[in-house]
Structure 1
Amino acid sequence: MYLNRTKLSGRIDSKLEKQLTETRDYWKNVLRRIIETILFLSGRGLPFRGSDEHFGSNHNGNYLGILELLSKFDPFLAQHIAVHGNQGKGHTSYYLSKTICNEFIALIANKTRTMNIDQLKKAGYFSISVDFTPDITHMDQLTIILKYVNNDGPVERFITFIHITSHTGANLALCLLNFLKENDINIENCRGQSYDNASNMSGTYTGMQAEIKKCNSLIDYIPCIAHSLNIVGQSAVDCCVEAVSFFVTRWSANAEAVKALFLSYENINEALRKIQNDTLQKQSTRHQASCLSSILGHLETGIMCELWHNILEPFNKCSKSIQSGIIDLYTEINLIESLKIVLQNIRNQYDEYESNGMKRAKNEDYKLTRHRKKFKRNESSFNELNAKESFKINTSYVIIDQLYSVLVHRINAYTTVRDNFKLLSDISMNMQIEDIEGGMKKLLERYPKDFPDDFTNELVFRQRLYH
């Protein structure tokens, strides 16, 4: 009897129920089209709105534009837009306005964030990566990215933006910790943090990484390697007057700029001389060309071109490899370690760079020598170091030694992590059981709660099977 009564036919409210079903299905169909359009645009990072919100306008943006395109092949959507589109203010938009569009974007974002956080909690351990950048309204915001390992392997997920009013390490750390607490993410499960090398982020005492580490001493700070390499180079560029004078571009463009000069030194100089003598050019242009040509004629410029090309070529290759996305920490450290050897070799090749520099500049005199010949003053001060030794020691060695010292300092942050997990990276069939037990002892001293009680026994048992 109950089943019979639930059947629509024969009921006094059958028409009403049918009307409700049709209405419900209608709006479901509308929502499917609206949401798929929003997912399409947001998934590709495309802008939604244009300068107006009128169907039929060429300036109504991607959101309304795509709906118009779909309506050409979808009679259902075409009918909906014809009835409810361009109603103007004060009328119901029926899912076609920017307001409802923003609400759907927020709902989708919240759902995505919740799913990512749920995955992170299942994974257990995680690391954090934070940076800040202004939005389109020039409001500073903190970008939070969480990294963890799920069944598919390591993943990196953007979680949210947080508007900030202060850039101090303490305030940035507080914003992050409050977000983790609000989302029930346990900071005790965090094992790594990675930021750029700005002092408010990387500072040992008051930086964000130090503030976060107060909450959990196991959260190792790993600065961005590519960013570190840029800072290493920039420190060398700024270390002496000759280095600053040589560069007119940012560090990121220096490698290509120096390579172009290295390969086409004489051609560039010849082009400058032609511009200098071209009466059809502006006087300011001819003067600038004359100054640049004169600089290329200095022996020091030729030597600096040789020196920096031999420095930047391996540094640039290393930087590109690090940013390839398919390289692990241990390989990155080995690459950076190899740069130390490169710098040591370059330090011993000054005579070769001087000889090549003379050929490039077609000049065998240093500026210091020319200065002494012209003025013949304070000759006793020049007797201590001749022009070559002065430039080699006060410029060439200063650049190389600055690069080397900063490089060593930057490597230390990564070698600590490498050494902690050396066992897991080096383990092989040929490893001795004593080495495995010693490596696990070191790991357990650092992370006493992170490994199961029988983990050491499992590794030993595995090794015995191989033997």
Structure 2
Amino acid sequence: MERFLKRKASTPDCNNNGERPSGSNLRNDLPSMISEVDLNNLPSDPSERKSISQYHPNQKDEIRRKYLIKGPCQPRGHDFPRRIIGNKARRFNPAWFDQYGNWLEYSLKADKAFCLCCYLFRDQCGGQGGSDAFLTEGFSSWNKTERLTTHVGHINSFHNRAVKKCEDLMRQDQSIAVAFHKQSDIQKNEYRIRLNASVDAARFLLNGALPFRGHDESETSFHRGNFLELIKLIRDQNEVVGKVTLGNAPGNNQMVAPSIQKDVVHCFAQEVLKYIFQEINDDVFSLLVDESSDISKKEQMAVVLRYVTRGIVKERFVGLVHVKDTNALSLKSAIEFLFVEHDLSLKKIRGQGYDGSSNMRGKFNGLKTLILRENSSAYYVHCFAHQLQLVVVAVAHKHIEVGKFFDMIASLMNVVCASCKRSDMVRESQKEKVHEAIGSGETETGSGLNQELSLGRPGDTRWGSHYKTLKRLVDLFPSVIEVLQYVEDVCENPYSQRQANGLHIYFQSFDSVFYLHLMLHILGVTESLSQALQKKDQDIFNAVSLVKSTKRQLQQFRVDGFCRLLEKISSFCEKHDIETVNMEEIYVNPKNRRHKTNITYRHYYEYECFNTIMDMQIQEFGDRFDEVSSELLTCMAALSPHYSFCDFDPSKLLRLTEFYPDDFSDDERTTLEHQLPLYIDNVQHDELFANLKGMSELGRVMIETRKHLVFPLVYRLLKLALVLPVATATVERCFSAMKLVKSTLRNRICDDFLNACVICAVEKEVLAKVTNQDVMTRFQMMKTRRNQLM
């Protein structure tokens, strides 16, 4: 045979001479060759794809189907670049997507057009007939629009034959596998019931972030976990479902295998993302990104998009991205890959929200800088909630006594919460004191009152945790002192005894009570701001207004708050038998008691402690929240509906359009200048626009009253103000869901399965809108299935 047939050198299992390597076995090598292609990470940009002929024959149809399910790469919202062609500036026309929507796609990186159908079946349609421009080279002659029609050609052209093959591939009921596997209507109905039961079971587990197969969520495990138990429960509750789900079905067609579970979960995640991107609808949005390591120490990057739909601000989680390197270039590449996969463009970003890490906000090579180089309108806002936490931490680090106080708090948590026994002692002691207070009439009773309390450890990354810890310490103070006394007297460990003794002495001192109440008040003032910043629909102007109000409260407390603070401290000391200090006596420096200070205790605590700490806090506020005074936010303030639009200023709104040159043309700026007086007169005399609390409510009411159609340019400005991010609280919630899905026992879950589960666990509202029929339809299209739905 070698005389008549020559072995191909391009065969994957052969070397350059057309011979298979020594020691290799085609049957053994086939699975490894097939597994090399990750179907979930196929390049979406047409210019980055390799030829279909380079893939293994057994995977070609799966790859084609994957691309056809996704559809052509059509970034409709992209700002297509212009080039001088024939003495005119020309560009790709997005209207071509509507005219040739089933095959035309655009490469963001190459700025060229391609044909999806011809790419998928190039190796099966014979001669190309002049189609190379849309296959390998890419079409970029934007002045020759007739080339698009020429590419389609006559009825039997290369392109039309490729389109017909695409349609035939997706028409599974005519495939060879289905033809050999004849099904009756009864079998099809039973298959639908089995598949529907699997979809119901997967929905329940995804909604609760529950494991599918117990402790081992790896690729090949088949443990009898929650999924099979749910299928059994469905079978027991519904006799018809039970009859066909696990009873009469063939052993290899029960729709419960791990691969089936993964496919169903993937379909749910894709339907959730489809809903989200349909809501965005090629409109502007903001990008929120943060990094965190999962339980297996893999670095995961969570991506959240903030956008406005029908006047309502929404923040939606769109995926976890596993990044090997955490440098800014790797992060940007991962974001670009995600965007291209879902036909999004970096040009549509109007805001960036990250934490304060250098790889995110770096001035020269940070992620925000790399995106700003491509899109100057993607304004960066440092997470307000993160900055607020840094304000508290900064003061603790700068002031010696405050830093010492928080160090002692950390030591106190280590001693009191070191064991369950000590924690129970705190709770039992508190319970007894509550019963005594109720018996003596000192405490009222009622629903929600006198709840069981416990101490919690503060953390720099847990917003508001310091405030909760100090608040509980005030409530549980006598119980905590009792536990310290118990450890000091009974504990056999000398180190623990010394530690408890030092803590007991410190927290029974006037200094500890002073800093406890001072920091409790400061954290209490900032706690309201922290909670407000973590709302998903919080707009940037309201956030800035709250920051200013908080700063004013701190300034006011700095002026007249010392006396009120002193009264609280004296009352607390008297209640818990703590020795107070005579404020009129001469202050004695504990470091050098023989040295006369010539100042009173009042002077020391008021000026050297209270005023110094408050000044540091106020100064840190001004340094951290530098966005508050930026010109961009000052111009946005003119949109505020507060006090009957008293801040409305047409000149500021016209200036605001200059910050977004890609969103407003010169003609639209002129139109807006004439539209603004009519707009303000209209809304000020409309009762529905009275007493609005923020710009988010203004957007909602404009949609309800259809004024967004009358004043579209004003509404566009409002959307640009609403999409600016405030805090990354939504991203932090995604990490909380990730830790529920990928727990210590489920640390073998693969990245794709993890991503799909987290998307569904976070976006439960969207998951509830996904129908079983949509999931089953996508499931059938993923692969060639012998069984067909009715």
Q: TM-score, normalised by structure 2?
A: 0.49
Q: What residue identity is the alignment partner of 1:195?
A: Y
TM-superposed deviation, 1:83:
4.2
- Note the aligned Cα RMSD (angstroms): 3.5
**Match of residue 523 from structure 2:** 312
Higher relative helix content: 1
Q: Is the deviation greater in 415-424 or in 156-165?
A: 415-424
Q: CA separation of 1:111/1:225 partners in 2, compared to 1, >3 Å: closer, same or farther?
A: same
**Match of residue 329 from structure 1:** 540
Provide, for residues 405-434 of structure 1, a one-character-per-residue CA deviation record: whole Å limited to 9, x for no partner: 2211232225535323222224886769xx
TM-superposed deviation, 1:350:
4.8
Q: What residue identity is the alignment partner of 2:540?
A: L
Match of 1:256 among 447, 463, 468: 468
Match of 2:312 among 142, 153, 164: 153
Provide, for residues 2-39 of structure 1, a one-character-per-residue CA deviation record: whole Å limited to 9, x for no partner: xxxxxxxxxxxxxx999543333332222222223222
Residue 584 (structure 2) pairs with residue 371 (structure 1): no
**Match of residue 8 from structure 1:** none
Counterpart mapping for 1:152-301 below 5 A: 153-247=312-406, 248=410, 249-251=458-460, 252-262=464-474, 267=478, 271=482, 275=486, 278=489, 280-282=490-492, 284=494, 286-301=497-512
Q: CA separation of 1:35/1:263 partners in 2, compared to 1, >3 Å: closer, same or farther?
A: closer
Q: Is the deviation greater in 437-446 or in 256-265?
A: 256-265
Q: CA separation of 1:446/1:64 partners in 2, compared to 1, >3 Å: closer, same or farther?
A: same
Q: Is the deviation greater in 66-75 or in 18-27?
A: 18-27
Match of 1:401 among 615, 619, 627: 615
Q: CA separation of 1:166/1:388 partners in 2, compared to 1, >3 Å: closer, same or farther?
A: farther
Counterpart mapping for 1:20-59 below 5 A: 20-50=184-214
What SS does structure 2 have at the residue aligned with 1:46?
Answer: coil
Residue 257 (structure 2) pairs with residue 97 (structure 1): yes
Residue 624 (structure 2) pairs with residue 410 (structure 1): yes
Counterpart mapping for 1:10-29 below 5 A: 19-29=183-193
TM-superposed deviation, 1:385:
7.5
Provide, for residues 253-278 of structure 1, a one-character-per-residue CA deviation record: whole Å limited to 9, x for no partner: 3213323444565x358636853785
What SS does structure 2 have at the residue aligned with 1:421?
Answer: helix
5+ residue gaps in structure 1? 1-15, 54-58
Provide, for residues 286-322 of structure 1, a one-character-per-residue CA deviation record: whole Å limited to 9, x for no partner: 5444322211243322321232122122122322233
Q: CA separation of 1:268/1:395 partners in 2, compared to 1, >3 Å: closer, same or farther?
A: farther
Q: CA separation of 1:337/1:25 partners in 2, compared to 1, >3 Å: closer, same or farther?
A: same
**C-alpha contact (below 8 Å) 1:127/1:192 kept by paired residues:** yes
Residue 273 (structure 2) pairs with residue 113 (structure 1): yes
TM-superposed deviation, 1:437:
2.9
What SS does structure 1 have at the residue aligned with 2:210?
Answer: coil
**Match of residue 149 from structure 2:** none
Provide, for residues 371-419 of structure 1, a one-character-per-residue CA deviation record: whole Å limited to 9, x for no partner: 323xx4xx4xx65988876676665445333322221123222553532
TM-superposed deviation, 1:198:
2.3
Q: Is the deviation greater in 391-400 or in 146-155?
A: 391-400
Q: CA separation of 1:169/1:403 partners in 2, compared to 1, >3 Å: closer, same or farther?
A: farther
Measured in 1, the distance between the counterparts of 2:635 and 2:332 equals: 25
5+ residue gaps in structure 2? 1-179, 218-222, 411-457, 686-790
Measured in 1, the distance between the counterparts of 2:374 and 2:278 equals: 22
Provide, for residues 213-242 of structure 1, a one-character-per-residue CA deviation record: whole Å limited to 9, x for no partner: 111111111222222211111111222332
Q: What residue identity is the alignment partner of 1:303?
A: F
Q: What residue identity is the alignment partner of 2:231?
A: L
**C-alpha contact (below 8 Å) 1:436/1:460 kept by paired residues:** no
What SS does structure 2 have at the residue aligned with 1:191?
Answer: strand
TM-superposed deviation, 1:163:
0.9
Q: CA separation of 1:355/1:75 partners in 2, compared to 1, >3 Å: closer, same or farther?
A: closer
Q: TM-score, normalised by structure 1?
A: 0.79
Q: CA separation of 1:463/1:117 partners in 2, compared to 1, >3 Å: closer, same or farther?
A: closer
Q: What residue identity is the alignment partner of 2:350?
A: R
TM-superposed deviation, 1:102:
0.5
**C-alpha contact (below 8 Å) 2:282/2:344 kept by paired residues:** no
Measured in 1, the distance between the counterparts of 2:484 and 2:190 equals: 76
Answer 1 or 2: higher relative contact order, Cα 8 Å, separation at least 6: 2
Q: CA separation of 1:269/1:293 partners in 2, compared to 1, >3 Å: closer, same or farther?
A: farther
Q: How many residues align?
A: 431
Measured in 1, the distance between the counterparts of 2:516 and 2:535 equals: 28
Q: Is the deviation greater in 319-328 or in 181-190?
A: 319-328
**Match of residue 232 from structure 2:** 68
**Match of residue 448 from structure 2:** none
**C-alpha contact (below 8 Å) 1:132/1:141 kept by paired residues:** yes
Q: CA separation of 1:234/1:26 partners in 2, compared to 1, >3 Å: closer, same or farther?
A: same
Measured in 2, the distance between the counterparts of 1:205 and 1:298 equals: 49
